[in-house]
Amino acid sequence: MTGAGFGAPDAAALREISARTLAHYEARAQEFRAGTADHDVTQNIAALLEAIEAPKPWRILDFGCGPGRDLKVFAALGHQAVGLDGSAEFAAMARQDSGCEVLLQDFLALDLPASSFDGVFANASLFHVPSAELPRVLGELHAALKPGGVLFASIPHGDNSEGWNRGRYGVYHDLVSWRRYLAGAGFTELHHYYRPAGLPREQQPWLASVWRAAAAR
């Protein structure tokens, strides 16, 4: 990881964060699709779906859907899956491969319908949001969930460092920091775990967590 982050970035710095991170993915879209096509995230999908208490079928937002791998799974299970990604290349791939609606939206400039989703699946996406902007973005996801809806998030955990890592901006929260942000946005933790399963903690780079949105804020 390079750089120490921007602290509280101004508007120009935020535009740079988005533009450079999205350009990284745009330039590697086909490579990324091929490299992640067989990633097994069934544990994460199950963690989200098992926590939703509303009657089926559910309306699921795949936040940072990439090429659409998981959209296809949600749709095959009979749910109304909606994707969201800031990369035009990924959004086009996801629409073609899944047949689902896919919103082309920057994570830092969301425009989501209120109280619309039973669940939000944020698999390896929210860590791209600068820490200064995370309370706002989490608040927008909370508002997009129906009362009692569920947020699943998987992030690469770390020591709360922040900055550029191989062409992408990332924030590497520890569990204490992550809990503080989610609780501040009105979420209640249901449970968390580390991935991949069955390995020593030092070989588990991913922190997965499941949260319920408060009925009213």
Query: Do 48 and 81 form a contact (C-beta atoms < 8 A)?
Result: no
Query: Do 65 and 96 form a contact (C-beta atoms < 8 A)?
Result: no
CATH topology (fold) of 11-213: Rossmann fold (3.40.50)
How many other CB atoms are there within 10 angstroms of residue 180's CB atom? 12
How large is the average pLDDT for residues 112-129?
A: 98
Report the distance separating Cα 147 and Cα 216, nearest Å.
Answer: 7
Q: Tell me, what's the pLDDT at 9?
A: 86
How large is the average pLDDT for residues 43-64?
A: 97
Does residue 5 surpass a pLDDT of 90?
Answer: no
Q: Tell me, what's the pLDDT at 214?
A: 85
Query: Do 135 and 187 form a contact (C-beta atoms < 8 A)?
Result: no
How large is the average pLDDT for residues 86-101?
A: 96
pLDDT tens digit string along 127-163?
999 999 999 999 999 999 999 999 999 999 999 999 9
pLDDT band per the 50, 70, 90 thresholds, residue 7: low
Q: Tell me, what's the pLDDT at 3?
A: 42
Does residue 57 surpass a pLDDT of 90?
Answer: yes
**Mean of per-residue pLDDT scores for the chain:** 94
pLDDT tens digit string along 59-90?
999 999 999 999 999 999 999 999 999 999 99
Comparison of pLDDT for 111 and 198, the residue scoring more: 111
